[in-house]
Amino acid sequence: MKRLRIAVLMGGPSTEREVSMASGKMVVEGLRPTGAFVIPVVVEDAQFALPARLDVAFIALHGTFGEDGQVQRLLEERGVAYTGSDAEASARAFDKDTAKECLKAAGIPTPAYTIHNGDSSTLVQIKLPVVVKPARQGSSVGISIVRSREDLLPACAKARVYDERIVIEQFIRGRELTVGILGNRELPVVEIRTPSGFFGYREKYTAGAAEEVVPAPLDSSVAVRAQRYARLAHERLGCRDFSRVDLILSDRGELFVLEVNTIPGLTQNSLLPKAAKAAGLSFSDLCVRMVEMALARRPLEVPA
């Protein structure tokens, strides 16, 4: 690590810029004790500059541009090794419609859903309660839980601010879980508890707004099943190195995969670092492992 030049990409043009800046700063602090030459790069748009003689770009960009395959494709074109999933898998996982179709095709349980493209007459057929969210956003941006008919249209309008395609998904009451994937390991299951029962943007990034229990207090068979579904979802979407897979355990004991996050948050309140800590990995260890996995394929990514 002492000879490496690592650029940590943070910021970006998405609605999650503030969270990305927090993740990036934490990664910089996590990597510096290793002796690597760590260079923070605040990204504004696709014309961002990279330092010379770079070994690895550590992507700490969340949301649009950072998590949807755009920055990955740019780095591939520049011949730069980078952390995390490739452009195709990133785009596939970020689009909730595409991702859910992949999960369904693989036999992985996921809540039933429909895509709403603006025809309000179709909304009368929707059975409540539902979760309404933009097809391509992260961090619960633009998401609503709808329990009454009069709230459905406003929820769609809220989601449409962020994407013209809207996912209207069956609401499943139960316990919110998440499983981190790191290389060939499934990390301990985390349970997320909130007073409102909704793990939204504020709960994700406000200290004390949610309680994360790790390892989750589950029967061992349920925990193993959650980890198995997480691994399957990670692999079927073509992800590599690491991800965080969100699930829900229904009141009837059924597990459903909600989505796969290819660039999980790396802030002090984030779930993947907490799961890694429960598995015996410090935050610095986690960041180093991410860099090592990117380095392992570097010769394949640098054009001849």
Q: Which residues of 142-152 are buried (b: 16+ CB within 10 A; e: fewer)?
A: bbbbbeeeebb
Q: Is 261 a catalytic residue?
A: yes
Catalytic site residue 88? no
Catalytic choice (14, 67, 265, 289): 265
Mark whether 117 is an active-site residue: no
- Is residue 244 part of the annotated active site? The answer reads yes
Q: Is 139 a catalytic residue?
A: yes
CA 197 – CA 121 distance, rounded (Å)? 30
* CB-CB contact of 179 with 171 (8 Å): no
Return d(Cα 74, Cα 78) in angstroms, integer.
Answer: 6
Q: Tell me if residue 120 is catalytic.
A: no
Residue of 14, 144, 261, 270 marked catalytic: 261
Instruction: From the candidates 20, 85, 90, 139, give the one annotated as an active-site residue.
Output: 139
> DSSP 3-state assignment of 21?
helix
The phi, psi pair for 164, rounded to 5°, reads -70, -25
Other C-beta atoms closer than 10 Å to the C-beta of 254 total 11
Q: Which of 138, 246, 269, 289 is catalytic?
A: 246
Q: Identify whether the C-beta of residue 180 lies closer than 8 Å to the C-beta of residue 224.
A: no
246 is annotated as an active-site residue: yes
Phi, psi (rounded to 5 degrees) for 42: -85, 115
Annotated catalytic residue, options 11, 12, 14, 16? 16
**What are residue 274's phi and psi, to 5 degrees?**
-70, -40
Contact at 8 Å (CB) between 61 and 43?
Answer: yes
184 catalytic residue (yes or no): no
Residue 192 near residue 226 (C-beta atoms within 8 A): no
Residues recognised as catalytic? 16, 139, 205, 244, 246, 259, 261, 265
